[in-house]
Structure 1
Amino acid sequence: MITVVPVQSSSDWDDFESVYSHVYANDPNGLPDEIIDVGTTLRSPADALAATRRVQAFVALDDHRPVGRVAAIHDLAFTEYTGESLGFFGFYEAVDDHRVAEVLLDAASTWLTEQGLAQMAGPFSPSMFYSAGIVVDPEPKLPLIGMPHNPPHYAAQFEKWGLTGIKDFYSYRFDEPYQMFCSEKFARHKQLYERVSTRSEVTFRTMKYRTLRKDSEIVRELYNTTFKDFWGFSPLSSEEMLSLQKMMLPVLDRRLTILAEYRGKPVGFFMGFPDANQAIARAARFRRRWVRDVATLWYVKGPRRKHLIDGARVDMMLVDSSCPDRSVASQMIVEMWRRIEERGYTRMEGAPILDDSEWMKGSVLARVEMSPYRTYRIYRCELAIR
């Protein structure tokens, strides 16, 4: 018999976390550990972060065996900023059994209704800034670092329950992107870029460890400015931005963090980091978590990194729209491509991307004809009609 219980005790949280390893035990593309840490985001968040969200987690049990989980999230900052009566569900994991999906989504939707909310959307784990959506590609792939990965049955579970896809995001893959830009096909665009960049007063610098808090605040302000009209956006706090920056530090390649300045004023940010999932997959053979963590860092930072990790993910294209120089986005893209080659990566994947984003409107990328490499989807439903 399938039952669902609200997570309250320490043992409940242990069951909640154990669902992940159970669901991905036989997934050839699954990773042994979760990227988004349940402990610091749900179980014991910092006080400043806990004050902005109300959360209730649930576990589905099959004769006392954890077989599914979900978190219902009332993002108070989002509600205050947008005025929308919208709650979220996230951290969803479930075995391939619709009874499990049904009790989990029923529990999440009931709790959000009790909070006075009229709609539910997700998955958000716990927000758009961390992880959103599920993969809906028919062909399974090793997940991209920091992006969702899930069994193929999740979309069917959501849709059968009554959720409808409302927003798609994509990743785009480029093999040797700087060499592509330097090819004969792009000769005219490269000449134009060189003329524009030569006259431009935009300069680039790399984020510094010793000024991480200051640089993090610059990125936060650019993020809040760039995405203020983006669906699902709410302003990011200093604490949350710094927390995520620290989470990424162990795998960060600082040369792939680009801060653009115009006459000394920050006007853009673009970030890339090694596709550490290649290293995590290699370290999965070790049984203990701490050994896997040490091995992963060795693979990412050690002398054999270029032989083990060939790809980088790029994200957070942030541009101050008030900057007089309209070439900032294109300049950052080409600068990133140049640095990716310099650092020895041969593959780049940009995610998450909307078709109408700065990425795809940029003068360089507008000339590249390609289909998305991966597709991610967010779902929503009305709570009042259930």
Structure 2
Amino acid sequence: MTIRKQAANCCHLLVKAAAVAHSDLVITPVSGKGDLKAFIDLPWSIYATDPNWVPPLKAEMYELLTPGKNPFFEHAKAQYFLARRNGRVVGRISAHYDELALSMPPEQGMGSGTGNFGLLEAEDDAIGAALIGQAEQWLRQQGMTRVVGPISLSIWEEPGLLIAGHDHPPTVMMGHNSPAYQAMVEGAGYQPVKTLNCFELDITQNFPPLIQRIVASGQKNERIRIRKVDKSKFDAEAAIILNILNDAWGRNWGFVPITDAEIAHTGKKLKPIVFEDLIMIAELDGEPVAFMMTLPDLNEAIKPLNGALFPFGWAKLLWWLRKPEVRTMRVPLMGVLQRLQSSRLASQLAFMMIEAIRLEAIAHYGATRGEIGWVLDDNQGMNAIAQAINSKVNKVYQLYEKPL
């Protein structure tokens, strides 16, 4: 037998052995309540020994994944998949696309033909590769020509793969995943397309003298007013914030408009952790031109609940919500109208809102730490503001792309 034939036979045997090793891996679409429960439950086994994983509330996961309960599905379509080995669930993934994202200009990151994968969990690289391949196949069948991920499920929820900062828990509405997933995703042929940074800072420390002078100057300016939101006018205040948000973020990478139904849904979900003194609106000559939203880190309260509100979790959570005492406050959203973004006034308004909320967070909630994010790596204004107040990057999330 020639050396070439021997080599060919060896390769054939290796491929055959690999096929046998993975022939017991079966990937199927999620179908029915049992499959959906298995899909939601899987992370409890994946992260059983990870002290920094925060178990999500299972009721919220059901709501997130269920058409009719999540208004995302009014303009999006998704398919979930489970991987089983010898009958045991060992992986999961979602494949989905958003009609609103498809209609956005391609230079903003999404655009025609762009689908997504998300909610990836897998016990090993082979399972992860098979799941990603299955998601890609479904997206091709839907006419997609490109994948951006992971996104779970909307860009406004948990975008990106955590690639740095696994050594401490995520704050409210931020993702957490195994460090092994970076090699898994990149091994499937995905290339980085956008980096999202989170910043942390010690809010018990005063800001640098220059920032204090900028804030003091703004406080003397009669044209500027920094005010708390009025929760008794929740819908009207939410509309003001939405208008600023859609204008401020309208040209950002990955931007997808938020629908009225999504605003109503999100408002209802967040209302229990919305506190008037933690959300500020900046007015210029009486016109709302900027806002900053801060949330107490709900993860500190829900982590001990292990995903369950019953039988006693709901009572503990309601008690905490009466007057939360937290270590960390998270700033998930901040925006200044586009017409002001290149002016000095934009940063001045931001510093004034940050300082006002910092003082409230310390005085009324016992907070000692702040987290700002996520922030696009090319958002020069926001990155400059974060650096000016002595905050440091503590978590990095990576979004990837791949042509189909």
Identify the TM-score tier after normalising by the shorter chain: 0.7 to 0.9
Match of 1:85 among 113, 119, 123: 113
How many positions carry a matched residue from both structures?
370
**Which ranges of structure 1 fall in alignment gaps of 5 or more residues?**
none
Q: Give TM-score, length-normalised by structure 2.
A: 0.84
Match of 1:13 among 36, 39, 49: 36
Deviating beyond 6 angstroms after TM superposition, the runs of 4 or more aligned structure 1 residues are: none
Q: Give TM-score, length-normalised by structure 1.
A: 0.88
Counterparts in 2 of 1:47 and 1:282: CA distance versus 1, 3 Å? closer
The one-letter code of the counterpart of 2:252 is: F
Q: Is the 8 A contact 2:64 2:70 kept in 1?
A: no
Q: Which SS does the other structure have where 1:136 is aligned? A: strand
Q: 1:48-63 maps to which residues of 2 (within 5 A)?
A: 48-63=71-86
Range with bigger deviation, 40-49 or 225-234: 40-49
Match of 1:142 among 169, 175, 184: 169
Among the aligned pairs, what percent are the same residue? Answer: 25
The one-letter code of the counterpart of 2:97 is: H
Instruction: Give, in whole Å, the separation in 2 of the partners of 1:289 and 1:167.
Output: 39
Deviations 1:260-312 (A, max 9, x none): 2223322111111111212222444x97645223323323434xx43xx2111
Instruction: Give, in whole Å, the separation in 2 of the partners of 1:215 and 1:369.
Output: 31
Instruction: Give, in whole Å, the separation in 1 of the partners of 2:168 and 2:71.
Output: 36
Range with bigger deviation, 353-362 or 241-250: 353-362
Q: 1:115, CA displacement in angstroms?
A: 1.3
Match of 1:153 among 158, 167, 180: 180
Instruction: Give, in whole Å, the separation in 2 of the partners of 1:94 and 1:254.
Output: 41
Q: Which SS does the other structure have where 1:37 is aligned? A: helix
Q: 1:4, CA displacement in angstroms?
A: 0.6
The one-letter code of the counterpart of 2:167 is: P
Match of 1:105 among 132, 154, 171: 132
Instruction: Give, in whole Å, the separation in 2 of the partners of 1:240 and 1:287.
Output: 25
Q: Which SS does the other structure have where 1:345 is aligned? A: coil
Instruction: Give, in whole Å, the separation in 2 of the partners of 1:370 and 1:340.
Output: 17
Q: 1:370, CA displacement in angstroms?
A: 5.3
Paired residue for 1:229? 251
Q: 1:59, CA displacement in angstroms?
A: 0.9
Instruction: Give, in whole Å, the separation in 2 of the partners of 1:319 and 1:241.
Output: 19
Deviations 1:300-338 (A, max 9, x none): 434xx43xx211111211111335854322322222222
Q: 1:1-386 maps to which residues of 2 (within 5 A)?
A: 1-34=24-57, 37-46=60-69, 48-82=71-105, 83-95=111-123, 97-137=124-164, 139-177=166-204, 179-181=205-207, 186-284=208-306, 289-302=310-323, 305-306=324-325, 309-323=326-340, 325-326=345-346, 327-343=348-364, 344-355=366-377, 356-362=379-385, 365-368=386-389, 371-383=392-404
Q: Is the 8 A contact 1:52 1:76 kept in 2?
A: yes
Q: Is the 8 A contact 1:131 1:147 kept in 2?
A: yes
**Which ranges of structure 2 fall in alignment gaps of 5 or more residues?**
1-23, 106-110
Q: Which SS does the other structure have where 1:93 is aligned? A: strand
